[in-house]
Copies of this chain bind each other. A is one copy, B any other.
Amino acid sequence: MPVSTFILSSSLALQLVSGAAPVATKSAPTKPAQTAKAFTPPLAVAEKLVGPALTEGHSYARLAELTDGIGPRLSGSEGAAAAVQWALRSFKADGVKAWTEPVKVPRWVRGEERGEVLASERTRGHPLFLLALGGSPPTAPEGLTAEVVEVTSLEALAALGDGVKGKIVFFNHTMSVAADYGRFAGLRGRGPALAAKAGAAGALVRSLATASLRTPHTGSTRFEDEGPRIPAASITTEDADLLHRQLEKGAVRVKLVLGCSELPDADSHNVVAEIRGREKPQEIVLISAHLDSWDVGTGAHDDGAGVVMVMEAARLIAKLPQAPRRTVRVVLYMNEENGLRGGRAYAEAHAAELSRHVAAMEMDAGGGRPVGVSLRAGAGGQELLKPWLSPLVALGAANFSAREAGGADISPLLPARVPFFGVEVDSSRYFDVHHTHADTLDKVDPQDLARSTAATAWVTYALAESPATLVRPEAPAAPPGSAPVAAPQKASAGH
């Protein structure tokens, strides 16, 4: 997931700051019908979803196919195209009707890349371990050599004014735990563009990492369409620490060679699949994940895990003796990582039916164990869903998360006031491997994946089967993307 995922939680953050109760803890002004008569969820169905998810190992086997068999799948790449075909084949094998929908995607390609702290009187040279940021232009073939200036915030960059002209701006920060991601992601997402505007020659960003063995973390950086662009790369925490120490002693010069390039937009696809509802097929519960990944590692946690969770939820729901009341639609989005074109294309193509999207979710926080259920809906959401949660007790997920549900690819559904839900997973180690060469199958625990798959299947079924639907939330006050980027990843509400 990119920074934009975290932007979504800003409305909750603002409520917390202003003292208002977060959405997820509001008490419902009305009592949904089914709670009145001591509702019991259909346990015979629950066992048909939770049982196979936990015992058959199907989601993990699928994850191995996607990561080992296909590997990285950045938008526009052969891997991404292969993943689309794999998803279609897999849905077909599962007996779930599936099709593709066109998405035009950016095609950014990594090239040769290296960096070096140049030798000085005080020190011999050091290699920099780095990854170009997605969207970065290349350096000249002979590379870029310039003095480095360190900042730790966008405000500090602004304060330097002309002081960065011709220099390489080094964005340093103090990320140490997963919850810090939102605080510092803006340095990567917006820092290089702002440095370019101020006349900088290049940008280096400390990796957004909670662990490092000289491990750079890539990610997108965004330049304005008509604004200046400069070569930008992430460096490892080790190299950031080294630069910081060297800068405390005097001037430091760095040489940077990036051979990345932006090719013409390419034709690609979202993969959409659905299980038609038995009573209200026109009402849609959308479950999703993103099929693309970064070009490093094999996207096992980001977002292979989400992909196989929602695919397996669909497979198991499709095998039920009786389809749920409403249609369950799976969307595997293309281009979450560096463009969000798939999310936007879906919202546009399906604009006419968004009012009939009664709930939507995106699984995109890794393959950790489930820790709760989240919502972003109007009044009474928890009361509606709570009676359905008992099958999740043994999975550790039968409670409501303080976090507001959301997801980058479903954010274009916000103006249509689609209620969001989610299964929250343990993401505490997610940023050890996020957007790195180390995001590989071995990092995903099969048991954790199975548990979150089970929870996903059950909550999806609950919302597709429940007699009542979630109340639609208010439209967001501002268009998505205009919220402050400093929103915390997970709000720590007091419950």
Give the B-binding residues of A (Cβ under 8 A). 64, 68-71, 78-79, 82, 122-126, 129, 211-215, 237-238, 241-242, 245-246, 297-298, 432-433, 436-438, 440-442
Docked-complex contact B82 and A124, CB < 8 angstroms = yes
Q: How far is the CA of A82 from the CA of B440 in the complex (A)?
A: 39
Residue of B nearest to A129 (CB): B437
CB-CB under 8 A from A71, the residues of chain B are 123-126
Q: How far is the CA of A79 from the CA of B82 in the complex (A)?
A: 46
Residue of B nearest to A209 (CB): B213
Q: Given A211-B213, A442-B237, is A69 in contact with B433 using a C-beta cutoff of 8 Å? A: no
Q: How far is the CA of A211 from the CA of B438 in the complex (A)?
A: 11
Other-chain contact of A214, B82, B123, B215, B241 (Cβ < 8 Å): B215
CB-CB under 8 A from A79, the residues of chain B are 124
CB-CB under 8 A from A78, the residues of chain B are 124
Q: How far is the CA of A281 from the CA of B148 in the complex (A)?
A: 52
Top 5 A-B residue pairs of the complex, sorted by shortest distance between their CB atoms:
A213-B438, A214-B437, A213-B215, A214-B438, A213-B213
Q: How far is the CA of A213 from the CA of B214 in the complex (A)?
A: 8
Q: How far is the CA of A82 from the CA of B122 in the complex (A)?
A: 12
Docked-complex contact A124 and B214, CB < 8 angstroms = no
Q: How far is the CA of A76 from the CA of B82 in the complex (A)?
A: 48
Docked-complex contact B124 and A213, CB < 8 angstroms = no
Q: How far is the CA of A298 from the CA of B69 in the complex (A)?
A: 36
The smallest C-beta distance from A79 to any residue of chain B, in angstroms, reads 7
Known: A70-B123, A214-B297. 13 other contacts (CB 8 A): A71-B124, A71-B125, A79-B124, A126-B298, A211-B213, A213-B438, A214-B215, A215-B215, A237-B442, A238-B440, A241-B440, A241-B441, A241-B442
Docked-complex contact A238 and B438, CB < 8 angstroms = yes
Q: How far is the CA of A431 from the CA of B283 in the complex (A)?
A: 55
Docked-complex contact A213 and B433, CB < 8 angstroms = yes
Docked-complex contact B69 and A122, CB < 8 angstroms = yes
Q: How far is the CA of A441 from the CA of B242 in the complex (A)?
A: 8
Docked-complex contact B242 and A68, CB < 8 angstroms = yes
Docked-complex contact B214 and A245, CB < 8 angstroms = no
Other-chain contact of A440, B214, B432, B436 (Cβ < 8 Å): B214
Q: How far is the CA of A71 from the CA of B211 in the complex (A)?
A: 22
Docked-complex contact A69 and B124, CB < 8 angstroms = yes
Q: How far is the CA of A11 from the CA of B123 in the complex (A)?
A: 43
Docked-complex contact A436 and B124, CB < 8 angstroms = no
Instruction: Please name 12 pairs of A and B residues whose Cβ atoms are closer than 8 Å in the assembled complex, sorted by A.
Output: A69-B124, A70-B124, A71-B126, A126-B298, A212-B213, A212-B438, A213-B215, A214-B436, A214-B437, A241-B440, A241-B442, A242-B440
Docked-complex contact B69 and A213, CB < 8 angstroms = no
CB-CB under 8 A from A433, the residues of chain B are 213
CB-CB under 8 A from A123, the residues of chain B are 68-71
Residue of B nearest to A119 (CB): B71
Q: How far is the CA of A214 from the CA of B438 in the complex (A)?
A: 5
Q: How far is the CA of A138 from the CA of B394 in the complex (A)?
A: 55
Q: How far is the CA of A69 from the CA of B68 in the complex (A)?
A: 41
Residue of B nearest to A298 (CB): B126
Residue of B nearest to A126 (CB): B71
Q: How far is the CA of A124 from the CA of B67 in the complex (A)?
A: 10
CB-CB under 8 A from A298, the residues of chain B are 126
CB-CB under 8 A from A297, the residues of chain B are 214
Q: How far is the CA of A432 from the CA of B215 in the complex (A)?
A: 13
Q: How far is the CA of A246 from the CA of B441 in the complex (A)?
A: 13
Q: How far is the CA of A297 from the CA of B213 in the complex (A)?
A: 10
The smallest C-beta distance from A456 to any residue of chain B, in angstroms, reads 25
The smallest C-beta distance from A95 to any residue of chain B, in angstroms, reads 24
The smallest C-beta distance from A291 to any residue of chain B, in angstroms, reads 15
Q: Given A124-B82, A213-B212, A442-B237, is A68 in contact with B432 using a C-beta cutoff of 8 Å? A: no
Other-chain contact of A64, B129, B237, B245 (Cβ < 8 Å): B245
The smallest C-beta distance from A132 to any residue of chain B, in angstroms, reads 16
Residue of B nearest to A71 (CB): B124
The smallest C-beta distance from A247 to any residue of chain B, in angstroms, reads 12
Q: How far is the CA of A323 from the CA of B212 in the complex (A)?
A: 44
Q: How far is the CA of A215 from the CA of B129 in the complex (A)?
A: 12
Q: How far is the CA of A123 from the CA of B129 in the complex (A)?
A: 29
